[in-house]
Amino acid sequence: MTKQAFIIGGTGQIGRAIGAKLLNEGWSVTLASRGGRDIPADLVRLGAKTIVLDRGKPGELARSLGSGADAVVDTVAYDQTHADQLLDVEQDVGQFVVISSCSVYRDGFGRTLDEARENGFPELPDGMSETQPTVEPGPQNYSTRKVAFERRLLDHAQRPVAVLRPCAIHGTHSNHPREWWFVKRMLDNRKIIPLCFNGASRFHTTAVANIAEVAAVALNRPQSRILNVADPEAPTVLEIGALIGEAMGWSGELVPLDIGDPRFGSPVGWTPWSVPAPFTVNTDSARQIGYKPATDYAKAVPPLCEWLRGQPREGWRERFPVLAAYTMPLFDYDAEDAFFNA
């Protein structure tokens, strides 16, 4: 019998990638969303069904699920209430795959990504495993809420739950494409692009295709587990810029600068991957159950640049609301020009 997958957030960047992977593996796939995004026509052609669901409305998830699914993939779970929603329907579900985040990890002093601006950047092992301690669950911030979600579901579910922890996600159809930081500069014909921390920052990247691979591997070996998901290598910001420049046919210069922590200075050279110490994970646990990366950053970035090139430069804030919400100014060209002129 054909296995049924129900993807909450099915029209987002992760949902599309997982949907495509599962359709190719012979699953029947339902893409659930509030209906605000473009329908993925390529997936519909492959047989995907789309359904309107606002998971925030009580009882709607159960109604949309109908007679149930072999797997529910939840890409947009952010707190304990979302775990409770999944637990409410678990009698009709074979297993769960849910998207958490690598931002849950903390260092020995309790420092985290979320509070790095106030408390200092965490000192974490280069290539953290899933045994790295996490923040405590709670309502305080994104990561404490993600841990509350993870624990609630793992502690109470009677069905297998695979918790995936990706890093800096990249893919088409993103509303948070960090690559826009470079692509927009290149489209705006900036000839010099400054990079703080000498361009040496490494914030591990995760292609949506690699999330889809890990999701598929986990679904084929149902068991409750936590899995980091990341690209095979963690490129430096300088390498990221060079790959994007190549894909964009850009002939300017990337300028690594020996300037650091933007808390104490200007935004010049600060990119969405800029960190004073590595933030990287290992994917040994996923590999042990059969994960083979589908792609790497160098292969994934040209189609992403192509997609970004097709997006309107004006109005990017509405198109990429998560990126637009960054507290650091992303395109302060006046500050960059003043810096170089000085």
Binding mask 93-112 for ligand NAP (x = CB under 6 A): ------x-x-----------
Residue 57: C-alpha distances to residues 37, 61, 64, 88, 296 (Å): 19, 8, 11, 14, 38
Minimum distance of ligand NAP from residue 342's CB (angstroms): 34
Q: Is the dihedral of CA 43, 48, 49, 55 positive or negative?
A: negative
Minimum distance of ligand NAP from residue 1's CB (angstroms): 27
Is residue 168 near ligand NAP by the rule CB under 6 A?
Answer: yes
Is residue 176 near ligand NAP by the rule CB under 6 A?
Answer: yes
Q: What is the largest CA-CA distance in the chain?
A: 69
Of the candidates 76, 212, 218, 330, which one interacts with ligand NAP according to CB under 6 A?
Answer: 76
Minimum distance of ligand NAP from residue 144's CB (angstroms): 13
* 3-32 positions binding ligand NAP, by CB under 6 A: 8-15, 32
Whether residue 241 contacts residue 193, with contact meaning beta carbons closer than 8 Å, is answered with: yes
Whether residue 180 contacts residue 171, with contact meaning beta carbons closer than 8 Å, is answered with: no
CB-based contacts of 305, cutoff 8 Å, min separation 6? 179, 183, 244, 247, 248
Binding mask 47-66 for ligand NAP (x = CB under 6 A): ------xxxx----------
Nearest to ligand NAP of 175, 198 (CB atom): 175
Is residue 172 near ligand NAP by the rule CB under 6 A?
Answer: no
Strand boundaries in 112-200, DSSP class E:
161-166, 168-170, 192-195
Nearest to ligand NAP of 13, 80 (CB atom): 13
Nearest to ligand NAP of 57, 191 (CB atom): 57
CB atoms within 10 A of CB 308: 25
| Positions in the binding site for ligand NAP (CB under 6 A) | 8-15, 32-37, 53-56, 75-76, 99, 101, 166, 168-169, 174-176
